[in-house]
Structure formats: C-alpha cells, structure tokens
Amino acid sequence: MATNKVAYINARLLDAASKFDAPGGVLTDGEAIADFGANLADEKGAPKGAIIIDCAGQCLSPGLVDMRIEIGSLAATVAAAVSGGVTSSVCLPNTDPVIDDMSVVEFVARRARKQGMAKVYPYGAVTKGLAGVELAEMGLLAESGAVAFTDGVRAIADAQVMRQALSYASTFGLMIVQHPEEPSLVAGGVATAGETATRLGLSGIPTQAEVIMVERDVRLCELTNGRLHIAHVSTTESIDAVRQAKKRGVNVTCDTAPPYFALNEAAIGDYRTFAKLSPPLRAESDRQAVVEGLVDGTIDAIASDHSPRDEESKRLPFAQAAPGGIGLNTLLAISLELYHNGHMGLLDVLALITSAPAQLMGLPAGRLEKGAPADLVLFDPDEGWKVDADSLVSKAKNSPFDGRPVQGRVLRTVVDGRTVFEPGE
C-alpha cells in the first residue's frame, strides 16, 4: 500500500520560532506536519510503513520565507525560490497588469498554485497603477488575498496620500510597506554620493534621501495610528530613526536585504552593473550599521529583494543599466555569513528568514507546528561553494554576489510534503 507518511530522521532540527535546536526529525503526512522533535532522531520513532529519509545529521528547518520579490517569469521565479530553500514568498505589485484589482490578486495566487512549487502571496498596490495619486481599494484587495500593501519599487511621495493610506489601512489592520527614497533627491542619481561615486564619475544619491522618507513616514504613522513597514533599510541614519521610533512605541518595523549587510559601494568599483541596486550600495560604515541593526533587533527581517533583469538591461553603461539583483538562490548562504562571521547565532539568523517575515506578513509558514503545511528545507550550513551566476537555477543572471565564495548549501526543499528540489536534479 502507498503511504503518505514521510519521516525525515537523523537531522539537526532547527525551529527559530520555538528556539529548538537539537537532534530530531519531522514526520509529514500528506501536505501537513504530523509530528516533529527528538523522538524522530532515528528510525525507531518513525511509524511503520513511513518512507524514511535520512538527513545524515544536516540541518532541517521550516522552509525560508521571503517577504519581497519581483516576478519576471513566474515559473522561473518559483524554480529559483525552491533552489534557495524558499518555500513561501510575497511578490511586489509591479507586475503586468499591476496588482491593484481583485481579479489580478486572485489570478496571481491561482497561477502560483498551479506551478506546485514555492507558494507566492501577492502584495496589493497602495495606489491605482502605482501612480501615487489615488488609493487602491485595499479592503477589497485584502479580502481577495493581498497580504500587505506597497507601491513596490516606487516611494509614495505625496505625504497626504501616505497619510490617507496609513489611516485607511489601519481600519482593516493592514500594513503599508514603503520604499524609502525621497524621489526628488534620487532623480538622476545612480550610486551613493561620496568618494566612490565621485571617483567613478557617477551622479550621486545622498543617503539623506532614505532617512528623510523614513522620518516623514514614522511621523505619519504616529499621526494615523497606522502600521508601517520600511523596506530594505540601508543607512546608519534610517536604522537609527527606526530604532528611536520603536522606543517611542510607534508601530513600525523594517527589513533589509543581503547586499546591504554583505556588500558595500566598493562592489561597483569597475562599473559592475550587477551591483547596481535600489537603494544603491552604501559606505562600509552603513554596512556595519545594518549588521548592528540586525544584531540588536532594530531590523526585523531579511528579504532577498529578488529583482530579475534581462541581460540587455544590465549590459549597458552603469548610468543607463537597470537597478536590481536576483537574490532567491543566495538568500540562505549570504544570510549565514552573519552566523559564520560570529555576529549572530544560527537560530537568530534563521528567525530573520523564516518565522519573523512569516509573522510580519501573517503567513501560515516559518515554524514547526503539528498540522502546519509541511514546508521544509534541509541544508548544510558549512558547505562552501562559489556563486556562479551562470549556473544558478534562475532565468535571470544578475546576481550582485557573482564570484563570491559562500558557505551554506540547500540539500532538499519540501513544499506541502513533496520534495520539489534536490541539487543535480
């Protein structure tokens, strides 16, 4: 008789939500977790007839949760996700068509389910057409499945529109996510203003463009009793602004992305367009401030900021090239640098890419619970490899980490109890 039960035994079981780190295993039954813990450390704990998968002492954790990706090709995106151990992700609304209508929310969710790979949840647009003028029907979009609201890679520039958005969203308990750049200060800039930009002859973006928007929106959040989340914080001043706001009790959270704690502006040194991002890479002092913000809890989560770009849009002079880098494939390995470099414990790093983003977005993911979806990642935290953009499971190849030696390899990704990725398959 066929069995739906699979026992993952002999693992180092990690669950950041409950601070569990011990030898153990997980039993799945169909699409759900049936049991987990030290009782499944070996075959004796597995029920009769279950399929046995020996994890050989490697780390078994809830699947990664990525709270911000852009979708180019949906099939390519979910394939990249599972290759990086990401089982749930939230996509920005800057799709074609824009996710500002109930039918588009439902279409994205339906298409993602049909892929049968990583789960994709949609953000709804804050404003119609992402134009920053007229509010979208956030209440109806939430009913249709939008998990939070943002204008994606565009900042909501008009303070009155942002005030209305925070106020309207608060009546439904919804979160507004802001891309923190004051547009008029960013216009025409392609790199962080300073010595590197000057030496390369590139027009600069002052770091104040980020903190001005953060501080404005924090004040609007206080005014409206709204719920604000700042995306990809990258500067010392903006992290400190969030830190101070939290101390005052403002309902504000934030995330960052791997490039902002693992790279600095030197990465663009030879006009490397793969390292042209939005926000741009910052000074080393800012990179260190991002690490500090992760360590002290000011920064609540890490998102990949996966932004696939075609070869033509990156094979241009630096000033004309499109900003953005792919990140799903390398989210785990780059995040683990915080552990390998001694900044954080392994469970603390995993929390930033599992339970914390799941909790922020209200997703049924990121933790081990009986009856929860059987979404898991098996990984070796120590295995070294070199990022080679051409060999990543990704249609787009624009990785800012191309050529970087890293540690941490995904060995198996499980979604709803099914193995959807193993290396070499």
* Catalytic residue set: 305
Q: The dihedral of CA 294, 83, 359, 230: what is its sign? A: positive
What SS3 state is found at 150?
strand
Check if the beta carbon of residue 228 is closer than 8 Å to that of residue 221. Answer: yes
Of the candidates 399, 374, 377, the residue with the CA atom closest to the CA atom of residue 388: 399
In this structure, are strands 228-230 and 204-205 parallel, antiparallel, or unpaired? unpaired
- Report the run of H or E that residue 11 belongs to, with start and end: strand 5-15
- Cα 413 from chain centroid (whole Å): 17
DSSP-derived letter for residue 233 is -
- What one-character DSSP code corresponds to residue 207? T
* DSSP letter string, 308-346: ---HHHHSS-TTTSPP-B--TTTHHHHHTHHHHTTSS-H
- Dihedral over alpha carbons 329, 331, 337, 340 (to 10 degrees): -80
Sign of the Cα pseudo-torsion (367, 421, 256, 172, in order):
negative
DSSP 8-class letter at 47: P
Q: Which residue type, as a one-letter code, is found at position 1?
A: M
CA-closest candidate to residue 399, choices 413, 389, 412, 410? 389
Q: Which residues contact 353 (CB under 8 A, 6 or more apart)?
A: 64, 65, 66, 301, 302, 331, 332, 335
Contact 54, 7 (CB under 8 A): no
| Alpha helices, DSSP H, located in 43-171 | 74-83, 102-115, 138-144, 159-170
Compute the distance between CA of residue 364 and CA of residue 367 in angstroms, rounded to an integer. 8
